[in-house]
Amino acid sequence: MGLKRRLIIMNFLQFFIWGSWLLTVGAYWFQNKNWSGTDFGAIFSTMGLASLFMPAIAGIIADRWVNAERLYGIFHISGAVLLSLIPAIDNPDTFFWILLLTMMFYMPTLALAITVAYSSMKNSGMDIIKDYPPVRVWGTIGFIVALWVVSLLGFETSPMQFYVAAGASMVLGLYAFTLPKCPPLARGHKKKLTEELGLNAFRLFKSTKMALFFIFAMLLGGALQLTNAYGDTFLHDFAKIPEYKDLIAVRYPAIIMSVSQISETLFILTIPFFLKKFGIKKVMLMSMVAWVLRFGLFGTGNPAEGLWMIILSCIIYGMAFDFFNISGSLFVETQSTPDIRASAQGLFMMMTNGFGAFLGSRISGIVIDKYYTLEGGAFDWQGIWFAFAGYALVVAILFALLFRHKHVPEETANISH
């Protein structure tokens, strides 16, 4: 089997695991277990907590002691065991700790998968810039396929979703040991601990512009997982209203939500045009406005005559997600020196997927419980989505007013060289 096909299988399974439960765990939590929003906010914060330190630790291990593909396999096998334990859990506290452990093994594999792909492609003389994107897109396809599988099998509110994820994780863990060898390349090279952990990139905070950028990255990171956390169970809740319960969008919410990932793959292709035409600041601002529309359309839509609003919201998600994440990483690339570029990208991910995701998940759960939970435990979904939209609007206005960056076309053009 050719290298590209082997890496395609790796990427497909990598995101199939995540797609099996990430968007549907909310439906399982609220529709099946009826646990609180505050506790659910803690559950979704596990990704942020794990992202704060585990990718750096895994990177050190892979650089110094263990082949990256072996560590990748060990992590996925460990994750499979933990995922298989979740269906038996009967209280939210234990659920939190088991899922946190699961995320401590899963989140580093996102970076390890890139390491394995880049290393093996370089050793094969392939052009990473040209050859990697068509391989990576299969990860998004894997996520979409997982959503469809879980939805069509009726597992959206069932513990079976975790068995699907566990099975895929075990298969990938064993498959990883057949991947090209990626031995430690830093063995015998001494670095300061601050360099090993990527802490030297924090010197970027000395620049007011970069400090503001990272603060806004954290604030927007708080919004990134909100529809992932609540979108599926929001559509499930319409089943409690007789005129909506038999509609396709209510019976198969994960399939509707998968439009977001389909849109994501398409908007990636438009980024070079938008960056060249408008510059990084305006593209990031477009992302923030898109988040306002994403939440606002959810607040006004419904699965019947308002289904077009929900579909449009899912299409807009591609712009909201890609335009900030990718243009943001490109901005970091242009503003950091070569010796800290990798660490700077790690810092960007830490602010968005770490601190931002953690704070957004925890605070949103508390706010929903306190202000948007009605008598009998029902949720004021319109209020919830409008509150999220208001938050995104405030962040967008502050970003437009406070963040200063002049568009220099040559700056973005030089990234690809």
Q: What is the pLDDT of residues 216-231, one digit of tens each?
A: 989 988 888 787 788 8
Ordered by start, the domain boundaries in the chain are 1-183, 201-417
How far is it, in rounded angstroms, from Cα 262 to Cα 231?
16
Q: What is the pLDDT of residues 158-217, one digit of tens each?
A: 999 999 999 999 999 999 999 999 888 655 556 666 666 666 667 778 888 889 988 998
- The class that CATH gives domain 201-417 is mainly alpha
Contact 270, 287 (CB under 8 A): no
**Domains 1-183 and 201-417 are alike in CATH topology:** yes
Whole-number mean pLDDT of the chain? 87
Mean pLDDT within 309-325: 91
pLDDT value of position 281: 85
Burial level of 349, CB count in 10 A (0-12/13-18/19+)? buried
Mutual angle of helices 280-300 and 208-224, in 10-degree steps: 20
How far is it, in rounded angstroms, from Cα 83 to Cα 67?
24
Helices marked H in 28-186 — which ranges? 37-64, 68-85, 92-123, 128-152, 160-176
DSSP at 379: B
pLDDT value of position 71: 93
The percentage of the chain sitting over the pLDDT mark of 70, rounded to a whole number, equals: 91
Burial level of 376, CB count in 10 A (0-12/13-18/19+)? exposed
Bridge partners (DSSP) listed for residue 373: 379
| Cα 151 to Cα 28, 113, 140, 188, 381, distances in angstroms | 12, 27, 17, 49, 22
Lowest mean pLDDT among 115-124, 128-137, 147-156: 128-137
- The class that CATH gives domain 1-183 is mainly alpha
How far is it, in rounded angstroms, from Cα 39 to Cα 45?
10
Alpha carbon 376 to chain centroid distance? 32
Contact 289, 400 (CB under 8 A): no
Spatial CA neighbour of 381 closest among 318, 295, 312? 295
Grade residue 337 by pLDDT with cuts at 50, 70 and 90: confident
Alpha carbon 327 to chain centroid distance? 16
